[in-house]
Structures are given as C-alpha cells and as structure tokens.
Structure 1
Amino acid sequence: MDTDVQQQIDWAGWLRRWDAQQEGYVPEREARFTAMFDALEALLPPSFVALDLASGPGSLSRRLLARFPEARAVAVDMDPVMLAVGRGALGTVDGRLRWVEADLATPDWLAALGETRVDAVLSSTALHWMWPEPLLRLYRELSVLLPPGGLLLNGDHLAFSAALPTFARLSEHVLEQQWTDAAFAARGIETAEQWWEAFGAEPAFAPLLEARAKMLAGKQRQETPPGFDLHVAALREAGFREVGTIWQSMSDRVLMAVR
C-alpha cells in the first residue's frame, strides 16, 4: 500500500469500530481483560515481556501497555488486515510493541517470533480457531518459551464438557440471544460481517484483502472447537503445573496456566 495512502487512512477509527463489534460478541470483554491484567500485576514484576497470541489489531496489547508502563509486548497474527490496522492505529508505542506476522498453526512460527523467552502469554477470543493437534503443539512450544512461574492467560469461549449438558445448553442459549443480528442492531453495534463489508468497500484496502484471501486459502473452520476440558488436558500434557479458571461468565472465561 502506498505510504501517502496509508497516512490518509483513519486506522484508529477502524480499530475503534473493531473493538465495538467485538464487544457485541463478548459483552464482558473489558472485565476479561481486567482479570488477565490483575493476574499479571499480582504475579509478575512491573517489567515483563508479554506475547499477544493471535493478536488481531492489538486490542489486548494496547490495554496491557497502557496499564503496565514498564512492560513490552509482541503481537503475533497471521492476518495482514489485522496487522495493518494495528500497526496503523498503534504503531510501536514508543518501541514497546512489536508486530510479527506468523501462523500459529505452523511449526515454524517460533522462528519468526524473534524471542527466546517471554514472561507471559495472553490471547483473547482467538485460540478456538485452532484444531486440537496444532493447539497441543502450540502449548508445548509455549511451555518452552515461558520460564518456571511464567503465565499463560487465555480469554475465550471454552465450552462446558459433555458431563455438564445443562450448563452447556444454558450457555449456548445466552450466546444465541446475544449474537443475533437483531441484538446487534438493538444495541447500535456493527456485526463482524458488517465491519468486513465496510472495510472491503474501501478501494485502498484491496491489496490487503487480496493478501488475506491468499492467507486463508485452504483454512477450514471447526464446527465444534476444543472445549474447556481439552484445553486443560493439553496444557497439563504440555508441562504446565497449575491450570484453572480465574474469571468466568457462562462459557466465556479466562483460563490461567502456570509454567
């Protein structure tokens, strides 16, 4: 994309619109972020390095760096659109934020990371995209990247187990009510589809969208993403010594694992 065109784009506005529609799907999104950051504050020193996994446009990194002025963050995502919005809206936050384009489902993503150790790994509404086998591999890789006492914090919709069918049914009912187009319209919020439609209507974004289409070619979405029990088992198998929920609203929860 031409530099002059990049400078004319309201990247901050696109990020604000992204955050607004994401909150439509996760009404307790800010509470989820706060729970993550409260854990970091209680368990880590003021100066630390955080890895923002599948970062999107950096919503989590932006909040983390605002709360922790001595921290540094590395935002990793495979989507060129999300990275362009994040870079355009946030930049490097005075050198404290670095952006990396990499696919977490591939074994070589660590080579692109440029870090041999981080103190914390955070992710929000992202890891449900990963299939079980690459998810387990990812957790193993993160257990090497984190030192003893390092933290992994995953905020996502992690489904209740088959042993709790009534809980699962209730949670699904709540989500279905929240995620209808009518519910978004009533709150005056864009849906994800409307955000992407508006983004695609801008001619300047055509190269980014073409790159995104190539990136997504061959990718398949799971009908039933790994649930809470699978995440817990995978983390324990990967070598995390403590795994548990520190915040929850229905199936929306923050899962914390301690290396």
Structure 2
Amino acid sequence: MKDAVEAVATVVETDKPEGIRLQKVLAAAGVGSRRHNEELIDAGRVRVDGKVVREQGRRVDPETAVIEVDGERVVTRTGLIHLALNKPRGVVSTMSDDQGRPTVAELITEFGSHSGLFHVGRLDVESEGLLLVTNNGDLAHRLTHPSFGVPKTYQVEINGPVRKETLRWLRMGVQLSDGPVRPENVRVIDQVGSRVLIEMVLHEGRNRIVRRLMDEVGHPVQRLLRTEFGAVHLGNLRSGRARHLTRFEVGALHSAVGL
C-alpha cells in the first residue's frame, strides 16, 4: 500500500505542469490585468518565442521566454533593475571611487542596495545627463557594443559664432586620432549672443568622443548634456535623481539590440 501511494505521488509530481500561466506573467510585467491579457491572447496579439499564442493557460518560463505584445518586447525576467539617472556635473561614472569623489552609487540609494548594479557606458565627470544603470549584463553589454550602434543624443553648448562650413564638416565626419567619427545628425537648436547650443546624435561611445570632436573643429565644449539613450529620454528628470525605466523603454532597448 505504501509503495502504491509513493508511486501515485511520483506520477503527480512528474505530471505537474512547468512554468507560469502566460496571462499571469504578462500581468506581473505590468502589461495589464489578467483579464486584459487573456483578451490580448484571444486577439492573437501575443507572441512567445516568435509564435502567436491563442491558447489560454499556456505556461511559459519568464526567465527564458521571449514574449512580445503587438510586436513590442515584454521583459519578464525577475530580479532585473533598469534605471535612468540624470547625472550631475562633478559626479564620477563609477560605483565607487578611491579618491572620495561623489559617485553614481550615492545617487541611487533609494532603490536599495547597489550591489550588482553598474552603469551602462560613461559620462565624464564634467558631463551631465542621462546615464542608464542596471544589473542586466546581457543588455548592458549590447547597448555599449559598437556593432549595435544604439543612438545617443547630446546637447552641446559652445562659444560661437559657428560657421556653416563647420557644421558641414561635422556632418561629413571628422578624423580623430583613433579613427573617424560621423554624427548621424547635427543642428543648431538655440543661439543667444555668443552662446550656441547644438544637438548631436552619435552611434558610438568612445572616450570623451563629443569633447574631442568639438575640439577638433575649433569649438571646445562649455557644457555637455546627454538627453537620450536609444528609446530612453531624459525628459523632466531632475539633476541627481533616478527613476525606473518603463516597460516600454525596457522592451525597446531589448529590441534595439536583438534581445
């Protein structure tokens, strides 16, 4: 009798379905209520690993499944943190500094322990603006790898006037000591007296690339602010503050680098 009970228990355990119901995974990822997610599935708007799912109750592994809603990636891995930080001037783009300078880690204490978190790319100590912070190593690696060319937008304050020939030179590309650099877009967005504000979009993140570029064309940077990193915009985030990325921002970043 005992052997029979143990055998039944083994069968029950073996037949236990694996994974979590898709609508529950979507709800946990912030897509909507379970009922709303069931409607999305019924409408054929949800894909799992590239295939449309219409089956209610389909179970998935949120750690490994690639889930999309209306073609937009929904990141469902647990324990991931994705932050946007408005780094002030004078803060070092590092989690610790042996010289005692203020660091990125000191600005994100409200989000808990910074153990495992790291910044994506860098902004030099005098530069300001958008810096991504995460514990998602796969995403961070791809976002900073030059082969993916994720665009970054900067506002560059310089002393003018700026000649049309200089703008044309920037748009055509400038040869630096470590190779050429060609911004995707360069335009003057404001000019007051001798102050000129230029918006520039780059697809690479070499060390001090914007400052070296402007030095080369004879207009050293007076102030440098990064306003966009891929699909993430600085918006009205105050200097020194951080926020969680939205589900849509995280999904767009993953899609941009093929994850």
More strand by share: 2
Q: Same fold (TM over 0.5)?
A: no
Class of the TM-score when normalised by the shorter of the 2 chains: under 0.3
Q: Which has the larger radius of gyration?
A: 2
More helix by share: 1
